[in-house]
């Protein structure tokens, strides 16, 4: 068996949303199709992925380096020992040829997106949902039927005040969610505290509300928010600083007893290791939020988990960034703490299967083979068109 083509296209998000740092008006994402010569139901098996949201499309690196390396490789060098399926570990190694150590953000998103698409192929060939394939390989076969899922929302938008924020949260609770995350940092501290208090009037407990600063604070502002938010004992205070500013993050953690969430803007095992060694995080309460398709993909993520275990971190402390079908399978397959969701946000890239239902803050894992993009009609139309053009 072999990979016969890999295609990429960039899609604009066309969003008016804004967080503490930037708006999404120019944001794009790369959609990838990996097409094989394996035939199921009369059609070549194709795997799909996209590079999450919040990172721009990265097709240039794919087309110039990573796709050619895969297509030039001997087909037998990219399959498992039995020769009956792809081996994403080998495909990752192939893409990393002649890449200098470090410089992760320049390539990790492009590589991870292709790698996750290869996992979609692997699961489809095996005739299993991806979360089952991952559970068998990386979690001692422990298969879950549902995962905890919280809403990433509370964006800054034109004309959106406290009443509209509360209406947004009520709508998400009515959909079956129990935990909400809202943005902070895009307004003065008193205004954001008013937003937090308004949100708390809707959710049942401070444990059901998190806030997200999108890594936008300097020292004065980070510590100011830590002091202002401390009395509320929220579920977590997300990305108060640039996650590579380990010293400042440690200072915030020392001043803030409630949980901190961070890590979605780290793209390598080495960076995450430095985070837990030098960032002052507490393994008994804090949250790590790696975005797997943006950090070299699933095989590398398994090595990151092994490293975290050595440093005393439990899988339940990981809540990957993403809010999509890919992350849902990864959370379920590895047995992680929970998954994000973006209902009604980011157009075709938001959410899960069209018929997915949330029950008491949990989402049932899909049983369709692969990642299951085929159950997301609008997104799959783009993916199907991309694979048909191969």
In angstroms, rounded to a whole number, what is the distance separating the alpha carbons of residues 188 and 342? 25
Is the separation of the CB atoms in 179 and 172 below 8 Å?
Answer: no
Helix (H) or strand (E) holding 18: none
Helix, strand, coil shares of the chain, percent, nearest 5, are 45, 20, 40
Cα dihedral across residues 196, 197, 202, 204: positive or negative: positive
In angstroms, rounded to a whole number, what is the distance separating the alpha carbons of residues 265 and 343? 22
Cα dihedral across residues 318, 319, 324, 325: positive or negative: positive
| Known active-site residue 90 | no
Is the separation of the CB atoms in 286 and 259 below 8 Å?
Answer: yes
Angle between helices 130-138 and 298-310 (to 10 degrees): 40
Q: Please give the DSSP secondary-structure letter assigned to residue 315.
A: G
Tokens matching residue 92 = 């990752």
Residue written as token pair 């692997």: 122
| Known active-site residue 142 | no
Active-site entry in 181, 321, 329, 362? 321
Helix (H) or strand (E) holding 369: none
Residue ranges with strand state E in the chain = 3-12, 28-40, 43-50, 146-152, 180-183, 209-212, 237-238, 260-262, 287-288, 339-341, 358-359, 362-364
Active-site entry in 183, 201, 329, 362? 183
The catalytic residues are 183, 321
């Amino acid at each position: 068996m072999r990979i016969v083509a890999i295609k990429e296209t960039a899609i604009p998000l066309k969003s008016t949303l804004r967080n503490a740092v930037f708006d999404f008006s120019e944001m794009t994402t790369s959609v990838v199709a990996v097409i094989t010569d394996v035939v199921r139901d009369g059609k070549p098996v194709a795997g799909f992925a996209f590079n999450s949201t919040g990172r721009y499309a990265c097709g240039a690196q794919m087309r110039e380096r990573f796709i050619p390396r895969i297509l030039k490789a001997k087909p037998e060098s990219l399959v498992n020992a039995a020769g009956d399926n792809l081996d994403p570990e080998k495909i990752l190694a192939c893409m990393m040829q002649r890449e200098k150590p470090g410089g992760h953000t320049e390539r990790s998103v492009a590589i991870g997106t292709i790698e996750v698409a290869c996992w979609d192929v692997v699961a489809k060939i095996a005739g299993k949902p991806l979360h089952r394939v991952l559970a068998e390989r990386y979690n001692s076969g422990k298969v879950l039927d549902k995962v905890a899922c919280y809403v990433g929302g509370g964006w800054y938008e034109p004309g959106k005040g406290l009443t509209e924020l509360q209406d947004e949260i009520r709508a998400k609770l009515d959909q079956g969610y129990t935990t909400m995350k809202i943005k902070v940092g895009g307004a003065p501290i008193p205004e954001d505290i008013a937003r937090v208090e308004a949100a708390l009037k809707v959710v049942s407990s401070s444990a059901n509300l998190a806030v997200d600063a999108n890594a936008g604070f300097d020292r004065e502002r980070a510590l100011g928010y830590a002091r202002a938010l401390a009395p509320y004992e929220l579920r977590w205070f997300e990305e108060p600083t640039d996650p590579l500013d380990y010293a400042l993050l440690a200072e915030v953690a020392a001043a803030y007893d409630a949980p901190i969430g961070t890590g979605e803007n780290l793209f390598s095992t080495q960076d995450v290791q430095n985070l837990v060694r030098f960032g002052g995080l507490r393994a008994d309460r804090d949250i790590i939020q790696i975005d797997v398709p943006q950090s070299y993909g699933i095989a590398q993520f398994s090595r990151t988990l092994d490293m975290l275990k050595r440093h005393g971190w439990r899988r339940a402390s990981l809540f990957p960034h993403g809010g999509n079908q890919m992350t849902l399978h990864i959370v379920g397959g590895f047995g992680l703490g929970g998954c994000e969701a973006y209902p009604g946000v980011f157009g075709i890239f938001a959410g899960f299967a069209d018929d997915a239902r949330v029950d008491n803050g949990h989402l049932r894992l899909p049983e369709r083979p692969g990642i299951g993009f085929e159950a997301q009609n609008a997104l799959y139309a783009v993916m199907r068109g991309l694979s048909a053009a191969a």
